[in-house]
């Protein structure tokens, strides 16, 4: 156990008890051992068929039967799985209905569409003939498939260890916040954090996970600390924004706006633009965004102006207003306008962030002087790497990214 980990162990029991709803820790809790949590990750969405293969035949069961069967598979030979009105079809055999669970008899022995994952799988009906694939996996094994998906593989070990703590914190927060009855906790893409399974793992990623096992970011008064929602993004462009401005979260000191100057200037997206989009095309994108999210923009007239209506304390735009030909005005946060503009976008007309200046041209909108990639809340990954290059330890990188926080080991 290294010096950093030993500092956290004495605080472990207090936080573990507080992770249990309604539990108040006693003044001097007795030592306990917590198990590593499981996370449920949506790895495939709305599938009509998948290819299943295994080095060793797995066990399967369905909702409509308590019986467990060994699936008769030839080693490493893919077989199709689909959902039909009569139940799950695996190859030419109907095996049952409801949710289908696939339990490997050996870790990493089952492949979904040619990709292996730790843990087990659940195939959950999403429609009459479509389904989602969910990976139920140990949190630490999950993180091994996240780090090299989120960071360049050549980045420093200290950056990787910082990212391991942040990704663990974010995932554990999402597990605890999932609505009752939700079939999964996390997406496998930028909607949560990118997860590539075993094929995405590297020695550096595995090492960083092991060396930070169980350590998370917390905030709050002593003995009442809580895990934070540890947002992070690729590059803040020198100035971040708060979670309150970006997502409408309650104001929070650890997730407030920060200036990092040029620490993330090595990012290829530190500066970007201009991007020019025809007003008619932009109108269509915003209308579709409104329709997809049941917002009033779905019925807006032709766009005439897009303006910045508010900046944060550091000068980054955080509120926007769209005006249509009828004079109606529609308000957006930075993340909302970025998603709206990027609806059905191409790579050449996609906004990397909401940190930009606007040129209202007669027939088009210009997004100029752009900075950064992502939402800019919490830890900036390019800044973390630069701080590691300057000799900062992983724990200091994390604590600097989230002011007023503490690192604690929860298992």
Name the DSSP class of 352.
Answer: S
Q: Where are the domains of the chain?
A: 3-31+142-227+381-409, 38-139, 275-368
The strand pairing partners of 323, in sequence order, are 305, 329
Q: For residues 32 and 10, what is the distance between their CA atoms, to the nearest angstrom?
A: 11
pLDDT for the residue numbered 352 = 97
Q: For residues 155 and 146, what is the distance between their CA atoms, to the nearest angstrom?
A: 14
Tell me if residue 8 falls in helix, strand or coil: helix
| Span 336-347, pLDDT tens digits | 999 999 999 887
Q: For residues 184 and 43, what is the distance between their CA atoms, to the nearest angstrom?
A: 10
Q: Half-sphere exposure (CA, 13 Å, Cβ side) for 186? A: 29
Q: For residues 7 and 157, what is the distance between their CA atoms, to the nearest angstrom?
A: 20
Q: What is the mean pLDDT of the chain?
A: 91
- In this predicted structure, which of 30-34, 148-152, 270-274 has the lowest mean pLDDT? 30-34
- Backbone φ and ψ for 273, nearest 5 degrees, come out as 100, 175
Confidence of residue 66 (pLDDT cuts 50, 70, 90): confident
Confidence of residue 73 (pLDDT cuts 50, 70, 90): confident
Please compute the mean of the pLDDT values over residues 159-165 and round it to a whole number: 98
pLDDT for the residue numbered 33 = 41
CA 53, 58, 63, 64 torsion-angle sign: positive
């Amino acid at each position: 156990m290294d010096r950093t980990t030993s500092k956290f162990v004495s605080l472990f029991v207090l936080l573990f008890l507080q992770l249990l709803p309604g539990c108040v820790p006693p003044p001097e809790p007795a030592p306990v051992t917590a198990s590593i949590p499981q996370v449920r990750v949506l790895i495939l969405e709305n599938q009509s068929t998948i290819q299943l293969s295994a080095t060793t035949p797995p066990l399967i069961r369905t909702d409509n039967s308590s019986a467990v069967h060994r699936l008769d598979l030839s080693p490493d030979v893919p077989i199709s799985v689909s959902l039909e009105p009569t139940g799950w079809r695996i190859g030419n055999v109907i095996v049952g209905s409801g949710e289908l669970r696939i339990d490997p008899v050996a870790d990493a022995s089952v492949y979904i569409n040619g990709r292996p994952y730790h843990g087990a799988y659940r195939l959950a009906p999403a429609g009459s003939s479509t389904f989602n694939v969910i990976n139920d996996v140990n949190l630490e094994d999950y993180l091994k498939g996240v780090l090299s998906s989120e960071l360049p593989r050549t980045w420093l070990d200290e950056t990787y260890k910082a990212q391991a703590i942040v990704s663990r914190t974010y995932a554990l927060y999402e597990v605890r916040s999932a609505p009752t009855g939700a079939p999964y906790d996390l997406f496998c893409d930028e909607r949560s954090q990118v997860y590539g399974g075993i094929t995405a793992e590297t020695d550096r990623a595995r090492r960083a996970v092991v060396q930070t096992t169980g350590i998370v970011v917390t905030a709050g008064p002593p003995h009442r600390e809580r895990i934070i929602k540890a947002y992070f993004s690729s590059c803040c462009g020198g100035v971040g924004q708060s979670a309150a401005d970006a997502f409408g979260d309650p104001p929070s000191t650890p997730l407030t706006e920060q200036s990092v100057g040029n620490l993330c200037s090595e990012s290829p997206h530190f500066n970007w633009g201009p991007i020019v989009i025809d007003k008619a095309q932009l109108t269509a994108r915003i209308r579709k965004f409104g329709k997809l999210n049941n917002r009033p923009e779905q019925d807006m007239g032709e766009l005439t102006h897009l303006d910045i209506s508010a900046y944060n304390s550091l000068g980054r735009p955080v509120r926007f207003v769209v005006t249509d030909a009828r004079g109606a005005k529609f308000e957006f946060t930075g993340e909302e306008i970025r998603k709206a503009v990027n609806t059905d976008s191409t790579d050449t007309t996609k906004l990397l962030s909401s940190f930009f200046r606007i040129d209202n041209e007669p027939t088009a909108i210009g997004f100029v002087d752009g900075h950064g990639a992502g939402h800019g809340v919490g830890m900036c990954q390019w800044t973390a790497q630069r701080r590691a290059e300057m000799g900062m330890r992983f724990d200091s990188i994390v604590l600097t990214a989230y002011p007023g926080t503490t690192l604690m080991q929860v298992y």
